Amino acid sequence: MTITLPDLPYEKDALAPHISSKTLAFHHGKHHNAYVTNLKKLIEGTDLTSETLEDIIKKTVNDADKAGIFNNAAQVWNHTFYWQSMKPNGGGLPTGDIAEKIDADFEGYDNFIEQLKNAGLTQFGSGWAWLVLNNNKLEIMKTSNADTPIAYGVKPLLTVDVWEHAYYLDYQNGRGNYLDAFINNLINWEFVNSNLV
Ligand code: MN
């Protein structure tokens, strides 16, 4: 499988003012692109070139000798999922099946956003906060650095990048303000629903 940098699913200025075009230009064009370039170099000439991105991640997790491959592969996957987790004029109350499931599994939207925001705020250093489906139940997860639920067979529904490069140009050290903007203005609930089925 050829590893490529996917286009953003919207224009670079489409998420402003919540995420600026400058942040997206660096985050997608430099950071995400670098993970793609690094991964291609690292797997060149190995059996992994014929594997899907997900299989590369599953085959290298917890293998210290392949940490570089795992980290870059997981970052490529996580970023592609993160871009899709957002849309212009998104956020706010969920719609569709996910709305009912959030009410059932979190006892309401307010508890859900409190837990999601808390996961993002308390992820020490770089990482990701996630809404996942685990044994058919919604759960909030956080992962460090490149780590990703798909390495462990847990199904991601939504993610927010809490590496500083995701928000520092727009919010400086205000990770909470960035998380508020993600929750209130950016979550793509149609994408979350499409992952639920
Ligand atoms: Mn990132």
Cα(134) to centroid of ligand 1, in Å? 24
Q: Is the pLDDT of residue 79 over 80?
A: yes
* Position 140 confidence tier, pLDDT thresholds 50, 70, 90: very high
Cα(165) to centroid of ligand 1, in Å? 6
Locate the domains of the chain by residue range.
21-84, 97-196
Q: Is the pLDDT of residue 1 over 80?
A: no
Cα(112) to centroid of ligand 1, in Å? 23
Residue type, 159: T
* Position 107 confidence tier, pLDDT thresholds 50, 70, 90: very high
Q: Is the pLDDT of residue 62 over 80?
A: yes
Comparing 21-84 with 97-196, is the CATH topology the same? no
Q: Is the pLDDT of residue 145 over 80?
A: yes
Lookup result for tokens 């060149």: 44
Per the DSSP assignment, residues forming a β-bridge with 133 are: 138, 155
Measured between alpha carbons, how far is 84 from 190 in angstroms, rounded to an integer? 10
pLDDT for the residue 2: 83
Mean pLDDT confidence for 164-190: 98
Lookup result for tokens 């293998």: 63
Cα(33) to centroid of ligand 1, in Å? 10
Cα(76) to centroid of ligand 1, in Å? 9
| Residue 82 CA: distances (Å) to CA of 4, 31, 45, 76 | 16, 13, 29, 10
35-65 in b/e form (b: 16+ CB < 10 A) is bbebbeebbeeeebeebebeebbbbbbeeee
CB 90 within 8 A of CB 181: no
Cα(186) to centroid of ligand 1, in Å? 16
Q: Tell me phi and psi for residue 156, to 5 degrees.
A: -75, 140
| Residue 150 CA: distances (Å) to CA of 39, 60, 71, 85 | 18, 12, 13, 16
pLDDT for the residue 197: 84
Q: Which CATH superfamily is domain 21-84 in?
A: Fe,Mn superoxide dismutase (SOD) domain (1.10.287.990)
Cα(96) to centroid of ligand 1, in Å? 28
Cα(104) to centroid of ligand 1, in Å? 31
pLDDT for the residue 91: 98
Q: What is the pTM of this model?
A: 0.97
pLDDT for the residue 164: 98
CB 86 within 8 A of CB 185: no
CATH code for 97-196? 3.55.40.20
Q: Is the pLDDT of residue 176 over 80?
A: yes
pLDDT for the residue 6: 97
Per the DSSP assignment, residues forming a β-bridge with 132 are: 139, 156
Cα(170) to centroid of ligand 1, in Å? 14
Mean pLDDT confidence for 31-46: 97
* Position 47 confidence tier, pLDDT thresholds 50, 70, 90: very high
Task: Take residue 2 and report the two structure tokens written for it.
Answer: 């050829």
Cα(79) to centroid of ligand 1, in Å? 6
| Residue 81 CA: distances (Å) to CA of 10, 77, 171 | 14, 6, 22
Cα(97) to centroid of ligand 1, in Å? 29
pLDDT for the residue 117: 98
